[in-house]
């Protein structure tokens, strides 16, 4: 698996250099296409996707790769052990205004062509492109790296998510759904005078909560009943990260790490409502 992680790290460095050295107004331009989940595709979505696919295809122990920007998994090696899933550029809508974006990935044991179990994830992480580029790699612990002079240097090992925090991250325009769990979470945050922070990029917002504690949420809404966060390459990887970091997750109806996706019956781009939180929030009682 080291070969896969090193390849992803290398790809994130490449993407970071391209972001740093190109016109962000141009990279953030919308193409004439939508992806498989209905989102408008930006120019750099496509470029980032191509970088990751091209590099990961060279890894002999990968069986399949799957991305937000493709319809079906790509076979790499039928005898490979792993499936790698990724969102090549989360928060691409932030590019033209020069706000942070990221890359999310998950690595699963690939022992069934149709059935993908969240519990089969063995590694996850993300790249965060901002004032500094950081790379978070999670297997048994959370390790945080920062790109310094073109190389990823470890800046914090064995990170544990704070059990309490003074922040929450939520788009209040989604509050019309009035899910009772969400209502209680927001009421508690207000009663504790917690501050709301929202960048509109899952990597950015969840990274802040991972470092400082609190909670982040993208619920189902009347318009998007199942939410907008995709399970295979966003929700499951981040739920795994929070589990390893002593935090927690919820789909508003259960643990996302219990999810099973049957690709013979449902889309690999399946969505879910999601909460990521510090341990102080008893999500089961909500």
Measured from the Cβ of residue 253, the count of other Cβ atoms closer than 10 Å reads 10
pLDDT range class, residue 206, cuts 50, 70, 90:
very high
| Confidence class for position 30, pLDDT limits 50, 70, 90 | low
What pLDDT sits at residue 28? 62
pLDDT at 34 over 70: no
Q: What pLDDT, in 10s, does the model give residues 260-286? A: 999 999 999 999 999 999 998 877 655
Q: Is 36's pLDDT higher than 60?
A: no
Whether residue 135 has pLDDT greater than 90: yes
Which domains does the chain possess?
2-159 (3.30.540.10), 167-277 (3.40.190.80)
Give CB contacts under 8 A, 24+ apart, made by 248-251: 248/276, 248/277, 248/278, 248/279, 248/281, 248/283, 249/274, 249/275, 249/276, 249/277, 249/283, 250/181, 250/274, 250/275, 250/277, 250/283, 250/286, 251/275
200 pLDDT band, cuts 50/70/90, is: very high
Pick from 108, 124, 107, 4: nearest CA to 56: 4
pLDDT value at 33 more than 80: no
Distance CA 252, CA 250 (A): 5
pLDDT digits (tens, 9 = 90+) for 42-96: 678 888 999 999 999 999 999 999 999 999 999 999 999 999 999 999 988 888 8
Distance separating alpha carbons of residues 58 and 62, to the nearest angstrom: 9
Q: What pTM was estimated for this model as a whole?
A: 0.93
> What is the reported pLDDT for 91?
87
């Amino acid at each position: 698996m080291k070969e896969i992680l090193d390849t992803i790290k290398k790809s994130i460095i490449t993407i970071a250099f391209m972001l740093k050295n190109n016109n962000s107004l141009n990279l953030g331009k919308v193409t004439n296409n939508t992806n498989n989940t209905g989102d408008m595709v930006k120019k750099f979505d496509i470029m980032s996707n191509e970088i990751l696919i091209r590099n990961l295809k060279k890894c002999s122990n990968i069986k399949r790769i799957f991305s937000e920007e493709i319809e079906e998994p790509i076979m790499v090696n039928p005898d490979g052990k792993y499936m790698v899933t990724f969102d090549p550029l989360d928060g691409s809508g932030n590019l033209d205004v020069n706000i942070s974006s990221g890359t999310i990935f998950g690595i699963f044991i690939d022992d069934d062509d149709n059935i993908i179990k969240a519990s089969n994830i063995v590694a996850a992480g993300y790249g965060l492109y901002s004032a500094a580029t950081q790379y978070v790699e999670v297997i048994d612990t959370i390790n945080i790296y920062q790109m310094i002079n073109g190389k990823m240097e470890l800046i914090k090992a064995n990170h544990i998510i704070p059990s309490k925090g003074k922040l929450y991250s939520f788009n209040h325009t989604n509050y019309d759904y009035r899910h009772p769990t969400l209502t209680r979470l927001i009421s508690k945050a207000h009663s504790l005078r917690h501050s709301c922070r929202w960048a509109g990029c899952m990597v950015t917002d969840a990274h802040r909560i991972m470092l400082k504690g609190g909670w982040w949420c993208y619920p189902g809404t009347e318009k998007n009943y199942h939410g907008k966060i995709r399970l295979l390459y966003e929700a499951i990887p981040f739920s795994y990260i929070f589990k390893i970091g002593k935090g927690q997750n919820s789909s508003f109806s259960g643990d996302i790490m219990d999810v099973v996706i049957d690709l013979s019956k449902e889309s690999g781009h399946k969505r879910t409502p999601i909460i990521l939180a510090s341990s102080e929030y008893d999500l089961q009682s909500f």
